[in-house]
């Protein structure tokens, strides 16, 4: 599965550089596969060359993706009126609302920013059919950021500014009623957070619980950015893992088997996706959980061996599915950071390194209770692994390195965990008499998190600027360290290239037996 996923990704990268030759790629894929099957009758090892066919499929999938024509970008500058349907969960900010609309007569989409300062905030939902009048234009690139390419990978060819709610008219409702209901529930939950928390803490709660940074103050957002903690404000696998860990613990407390626990947790995953919205980062985490859960359920039912369940294969399968659905995701920074961080964590906590056992052994020798020592050590190991995996991509794309990110995560992740659990409890009891008490507790945790992040971000050198090419060097160093870890694991301190300096017990016994045989003769 790992080889298939990497080959498919490599094919996408190569296909992006080749001219449009879909028919030729298809015939090449079939010809290579047929040739390998025929030749494998004489040499089975040739079956591994089927990965070439997978790479050709990746190139074919990329070239089959619709491309926004240049003529459409020219029309975007003259775009003044759009009639279409909202196809995203609208995101409200302090004085404007942002959403994506799919026009009726155009295959691509438009990103709309509706300003309503001084007017009543509009109540827009997924599936609303609208007629909009505004100022459209083709996306422009920022410094060191291909904004047009970023939107094009989402199928967006234009942006539109609408300066008043009077320029927008509702025509009805289309699309999925289920998604619309999820968006409506999300709006109500956000409104309850705003009613129970102070503005600064409520804005942070929006980011932590729903991934919406629009209501955060500029000062708080800059502090998270300088501290290297922006991943806490994008709902991703970390947030999903924190929620699922608590739910898993509660279900297992009742003695439920994995074959029952995993489906129940899976229902919770679908519910979170429904309420928060199908964000790409959440979909990645949900797919990884789905593949691992499927393997664990099959193993618990006795249909496969438990050792067949591989976290690496689950991660690779999730990547393959995402790239098959949207091959342009390969160039998305979020896609790269998510898989780099998860892959690095899985590598460091691979059973062959016995990191978990070593941490437990150190904690047991400490004078303090074991959980008090093991949890910080475990958090340091996870943060260090994620930092190592994402540092090359952060340096390459954002031209920055965060030397205090390890310390920042050590402080921020426990507080963010409490905030996520507290936020979940608050949302559950938000219409009960317990809402005020739950709100005060969450307010205290969020305020502590803001204070800590601001303190870390104010340290000199918290964010070091560097050229983009430095990310390649950092990536090389990380790969070298990972390979060195494998080498050290495979080689004992007394052994080099399988040549032992100190003879083993079996070698000594063999020599003694040979000597005894010669002496008896």
The pLDDT, as a whole number, for residue 201 is 92
Average pLDDT estimate for 446-474: 89
Tokens of 468: 């983009």
Dump pLDDT digits (tens) for 86-137: 999 998 888 889 999 999 888 889 999 999 888 888 889 999 999 999 999 9
Average pLDDT estimate for 334-340: 85
Q: Kindly report the average pLDDT of the chain as a whole number.
A: 84
Cα distances from 403 to residues 11, 100, 409, 456, 469, in angstroms, run 35, 37, 11, 11, 18
First to last CA, the chain: 58
Q: How confident is the model at residue 244 (pLDDT cuts 50, 70, 90)?
A: confident
Average pLDDT estimate for 345-364: 86
Task: Please determine, for residue 518, whether its predicted confidence score (pLDDT) is greater than 80.
Answer: no
**Parallel, antiparallel or unpaired: strands 156-162 and 81-86:** unpaired
Distance, in Å, from the CA atom of 165 to the CA atom of 168, rounded to the nearest integer, reads 6
Which of 285, 217, 235 has its CA nearest to residue 453? 217
Cβ partners under 8 Å of residue 393, min gap 6: 333, 336, 337, 340, 471
Q: How confident is the model at residue 462 (pLDDT cuts 50, 70, 90)?
A: confident
Tokens of 176: 């999925």
Distance, in Å, from the CA atom of 482 to the CA atom of 477, rounded to the nearest integer, reads 9
- Hey, how many other C-beta atoms are within 10 angstroms of the C-beta on 483? 10
The pLDDT, as a whole number, for residue 511 is 38
Distance, in Å, from the CA atom of 44 to the CA atom of 53, rounded to the nearest integer, reads 16
φ and ψ at residue 24, rounded to 5 degrees: -65, -40
Distance, in Å, from the CA atom of 166 to the CA atom of 302, rounded to the nearest integer, reads 62
**Parallel, antiparallel or unpaired: strands 96-103 and 109-115:** antiparallel
Based on the number of CB atoms within 10 Å of its own CB, is 65 exposed (0-12), middle (13-18) or buried (19 or more)? middle
Helix or strand (DSSP H, E) at 335: helix 333-348
φ and ψ at residue 153, rounded to 5 degrees: -70, -15
Beta bridge partners of 103: 84
Please tell me whether residue 112 adopts helix, strand or coil conformation.
strand
Which of 160, 161, 139, 156 has its CA nearest to residue 148? 139
Average pLDDT estimate for 345-366: 86
Average pLDDT estimate for 274-285: 80
Which of 99, 13, 70 has its CA nearest to residue 328? 13
More confident residue, 443 or 32: 443
Helices 405-428 and 199-210, axial angle in degrees (round to 10): 90
More confident residue, 323 or 376: 323
Task: Please determine, for residue 517, whether its predicted confidence score (pLDDT) is greater than 60.
Answer: no
Task: Please determine, for residue 42, whether its predicted confidence score (pLDDT) is greater than 80.
Answer: no
Task: Please determine, for residue 302, whether its predicted confidence score (pLDDT) is greater than 80.
Answer: no
For the domain bounded by 70-175, which CATH number is listed?
2.40.50
Task: Please determine, for residue 497, whether its predicted confidence score (pLDDT) is greater than 50.
Answer: no
Task: Please determine, for residue 506, whether its predicted confidence score (pLDDT) is greater than 60.
Answer: no
The pLDDT, as a whole number, for residue 352 is 83
Which of 141, 134, 91 has its CA nearest to residue 110? 134
CB-based contact 122:93 (threshold 8 Å):
no
Average pLDDT estimate for 317-338: 88
Average pLDDT estimate for 414-423: 90
* Least-confidence region, from 302-311, 373-382, 391-400, 437-446: 302-311
Residue spans of alpha helices (H) in 1-141: 2-17, 22-39, 50-63, 70-76
- Hey, how many other C-beta atoms are within 10 angstroms of the C-beta on 338? 27
Task: Please determine, for residue 48, whether its predicted confidence score (pLDDT) is greater than 80.
Answer: no
* Least-confidence region, from 109-118, 164-173, 186-195, 335-344: 335-344
Average pLDDT estimate for 253-273: 85
Which of 48, 49, 55 has its CA nearest to residue 12? 55
Task: Please determine, for residue 75, whether its predicted confidence score (pLDDT) is greater than 70.
Answer: yes
Beta bridge partners of 170: 130
Question: Sign of the CA dihedral 230, 234, 235, 241?
Answer: negative
Beta bridge partners of 97: 92, 114
Tokens of 117: 């300062």
φ and ψ at residue 210, rounded to 5 degrees: -125, 0
The pLDDT, as a whole number, for residue 158 is 93
The pLDDT, as a whole number, for residue 102 is 93
Instruction: Give, in degrees to the nearest 5, the angle at Cα 444 between 442 and 446.
Output: 70
The pLDDT, as a whole number, for residue 490 is 67
Task: Please determine, for residue 67, whether its predicted confidence score (pLDDT) is greater than 80.
Answer: yes
Dump pLDDT digits (tens) for 182-219: 999 999 999 999 999 998 999 999 988 888 887 888 89
- Hey, how many other C-beta atoms are within 10 angstroms of the C-beta on 70? 8
Cβ partners under 8 Å of residue 262, min gap 6: 293, 296, 297
Task: Please determine, for residue 461, whether its predicted confidence score (pLDDT) is greater than 90.
Answer: no
Q: How confident is the model at residue 8 (pLDDT cuts 50, 70, 90)?
A: very high
The pLDDT, as a whole number, for residue 510 is 46
Distance, in Å, from the CA atom of 318 to the CA atom of 514, rounded to the nearest integer, reads 56
- Hey, how many other C-beta atoms are within 10 angstroms of the C-beta on 99? 21
Dump pLDDT digits (tens) for 138-162: 998 877 778 888 888 888 999 999 9
Q: How confident is the model at residue 495 (pLDDT cuts 50, 70, 90)?
A: very low
What does pTM read for this prediction?
0.80
Q: How confident is the model at residue 505 (pLDDT cuts 50, 70, 90)?
A: very low
Q: How confident is the model at residue 9 (pLDDT cuts 50, 70, 90)?
A: very high
Distance, in Å, from the CA atom of 473 to the CA atom of 401, rounded to the nearest integer, reads 12
Distance, in Å, from the CA atom of 7 to the CA atom of 17, rounded to the nearest integer, reads 16
Cα distances from 172 to residues 73, 110, 132, in angstroms, run 28, 19, 13
């Amino acid at each position: 599965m790992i080889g298939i996923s990497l080959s498919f990704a490599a094919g996408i990268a190569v296909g992006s550089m080749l001219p449009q030759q879909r028919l030729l790629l298809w015939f090449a894929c079939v010809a290579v596969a047929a040739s390998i099957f025929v030749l494998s009758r004489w040499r089975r090892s040739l079956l591994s060359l089927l990965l070439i066919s997978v790479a050709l499929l990746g190139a074919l999938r990329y070239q089959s993706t619709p491309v926004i024509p240049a003529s459409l970008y020219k029309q975007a500058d003259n775009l003044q009126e759009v009639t279409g349907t909202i196809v995203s969960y609208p995101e409200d900010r302090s004085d404007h609302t942002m959403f994506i609309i799919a026009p009726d007569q155009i295959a691509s989409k438009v990103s709309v920013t509706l300003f309503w300062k001084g007017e009543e905030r509009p109540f827009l939902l997924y599936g609303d059919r609208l007629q909009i009048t505004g100022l459209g234009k083709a996306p422009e690139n920022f410094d060191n950021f291909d904004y047009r390419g970023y939107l094009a990978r989402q199928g967006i060819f234009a942006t539109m500014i609408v300066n008043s709610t009077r320029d927008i008219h509702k025509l009805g409702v289309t699309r999925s009623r289920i998604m619309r209901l999820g968006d409506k529930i999300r709006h109500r939950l956000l409104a309850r957070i705003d009613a129970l928390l102070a503005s600064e803490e409520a804005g942070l709660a929006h980011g932590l619980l729903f991934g919406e940074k629009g209501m955060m103050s500029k000062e708080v957002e800059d502090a998270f950015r300088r501290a290297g903690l922006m991943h806490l404000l994008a709902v991703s696998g970390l947030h999903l893992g924190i929620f699922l860990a608590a739910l898993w613990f509660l279900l297992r407390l009742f003695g439920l088997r994995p074959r029952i626990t995993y489906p129940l947790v899976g229902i919770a995953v679908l519910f979170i996706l429904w309420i928060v919205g199908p964000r790409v980062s959440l979909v990645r985490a949900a797919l990884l959980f789905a593949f691992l859960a499927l393997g664990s359920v099959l193993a618990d039912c006795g249909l496969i061996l438990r050792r067949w369940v591989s976290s690496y294969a689950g991660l690779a399968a999730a990547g393959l599915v995402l790239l098959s659905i949207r091959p342009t995701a390969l160039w998305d920074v979020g896609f790269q950071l998510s898989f780099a961080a998860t892959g690095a964590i899985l590598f460091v906590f691979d059973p062959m390194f016995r990191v978990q056992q070593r941490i437990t052994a150190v904690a047991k020798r400490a004078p303090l209770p074991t959980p008090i020592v093991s949890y910080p050590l475990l958090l340091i190991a996870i943060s260090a692994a994620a930092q190592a995996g994402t540092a090359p991509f952060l340096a390459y794309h954002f031209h920055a390195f965060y030397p205090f990110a390890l310390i920042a995560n050590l402080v921020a992740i426990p507080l963010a965990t409490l905030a996520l659990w507290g936020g979940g409890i608050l949302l559950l009891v938000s219409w009960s008499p317990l809402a005020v008490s739950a709100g005060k507790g969450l307010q205290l945790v969020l305020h502590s998190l803001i204070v800590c992040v601001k303190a870390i971000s104010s340290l000199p050198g918290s964010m070091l600027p560097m050229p983009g090419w430095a990310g390649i060097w950092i990536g090389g160093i990380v790969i070298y360290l990972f390979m060195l870890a494998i080498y050290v694991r495979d080689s004992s301190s007394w052994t080099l290239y399988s040549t032992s300096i100190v003879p083993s017990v079996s070698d000594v016994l063999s020599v003694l037996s040979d000597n005894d045989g010669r002496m008896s003769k």
